[in-house]
Amino acid sequence: MTSPLGPFRLQQVEGGKKGLKKHVSATMAELAANFPQRGGRVFLVGGSWRAIARIDMERRGYPLMVLHEYRMTPADVAQTVDFIAANDAQQLRSQTGIGAERMALVPLASQVLKALVTALEPGEICVSAYGIREGLLYEQVPERLRARDPLIESARMAEQISARMPGFGRKLYDFILPLFASTPPDRLRLVKAACLLHDTTWRAHPDYRAEACFDNVTRANLGGLSHSERVFLGLALLHRYKNSRSGSRLEPMFSLLSSEEIKEAEILGKAMRFAAMFAIHDPTSAGALRYSAKRNRLDLILEPSTEALFGEVVQARFNSLANSLGAESSVTTRKAD
C-alpha cells in the first residue's frame, strides 16, 4: 500500500512535533488495519531506511558494513531512534558517511519507522539494497529464471570470468560431497557456491590471497544470502588458502557465526584446499573420499594411476582435513581390474 508518510510529505505537516506524531500514528494505524498478521518480517526499501540501518550499525559496532540483508529487532529500532534524537546530525554524518540531504530526512524517517514497528509488531526488520527498479525488472523475468538460486548463478558467473579453469568448481563439489552427506539444503548451497568461487582470486598475491577471498565474498554485490552466510562463505574460502585464521584482522566478523558454524567453514575450506591440489583436472577421476561421522573415519581411495602423485604436501593437506573433522584417516589404492 502507499501512504503520505514519505519524508518530503512529512516536512509539510503542520503542528510541530506533536502534530507530526499525531499524523504519523493515525496514518500508520490505517495502514496496519490492512496487514492483520503480526510477528513476521518487514523489508525496508529506500535510502532513508538504509541510512537508519547504517546508523544502527554504528551504534551497535556491527563488524560487517553491508546494508543488504542487514537485520534489526524492534528493540534495535527503538534504541536507534533514540540514538538519532540524542546525537548531533553532523557527527552522525561524519561517522557513517551519509550525505547531507539524506541525513536531513533521517529524523523524520526514524519516527515513521518507530510507528511502523509499533503498529505492525514485526519479529524482524530486514534492509534491502535493491529498490523499485529491481522489483519492476523482476516482475518481467520468466518464472524459470526466478526459480534459479541467485547466489549460485552469481558464483557460476564469477567462475566463468575469473577462475583459471572454469567448470572445475562443479568437479570439486562432487568430490568433497561425501563429507556433507547429512548437510541440510540451505547449507549445502553454500558448499556449492564456495566450490565455484574457490579459485576466483588466484590473481591476488599469495601472501594476501586468503584475506582477498574473504573480502571479495563479504563485500560482493550478492543476493540470496544473509550476513552470517556471507561470513561463513568468506571463512571457508579463507581456509581454502590458509590453515589458520588466528590473528587475522577479519576476526571481529567471525562473531557473526556460532562456534559450530566456524568449524563447518574450516572443514569446507580445508576440503577444498586438499582437493584442489589432489588433482588438477578432475579429483573424482583421481580418487574418492569416504566419510563416516558415526565411525569417525575419513578414507581416501586412490586410483592406481594417481598413487605416485600423492606426495608430501597432498598428504599434509589430507591430514589437516582429517584433523579438522576429528577423524581417523587412511589412504588406500583401488585394486586394478
Measured between alpha carbons, how far is 144 from 142 in angstroms, rounded to an integer?
5
Percent helix / strand / coil, the chain, rounded to 5: 60, 10, 30
Domain ranges of the chain: 7-136, 148-333
Q: pLDDT tens digits, residue range 72-103?
A: 999 999 999 999 999 999 999 999 999 999 99
> What mean pLDDT, rounded, does the chain reach?
92
> Please, which pLDDT band fits residue 16 given cuts at 50, 70 and 90?
confident
Q: What is the CA radius of gyration of the chain?
A: 25
DSSP 3-state assignment of 279? coil
Measured between alpha carbons, how far is 55 from 152 in angstroms, rounded to an integer?
31
Q: Is pLDDT of 12 > 80?
A: yes
Read off the pTM.
0.91
Q: Is pLDDT of 19 > 80?
A: yes
Give the total residue count for the chain: 337
Domain 148-333: which topology?
Hypothetical protein af1432 (1.10.3210)
Reported CATH class of domain 7-136: alpha beta
Amino acid at 286: A
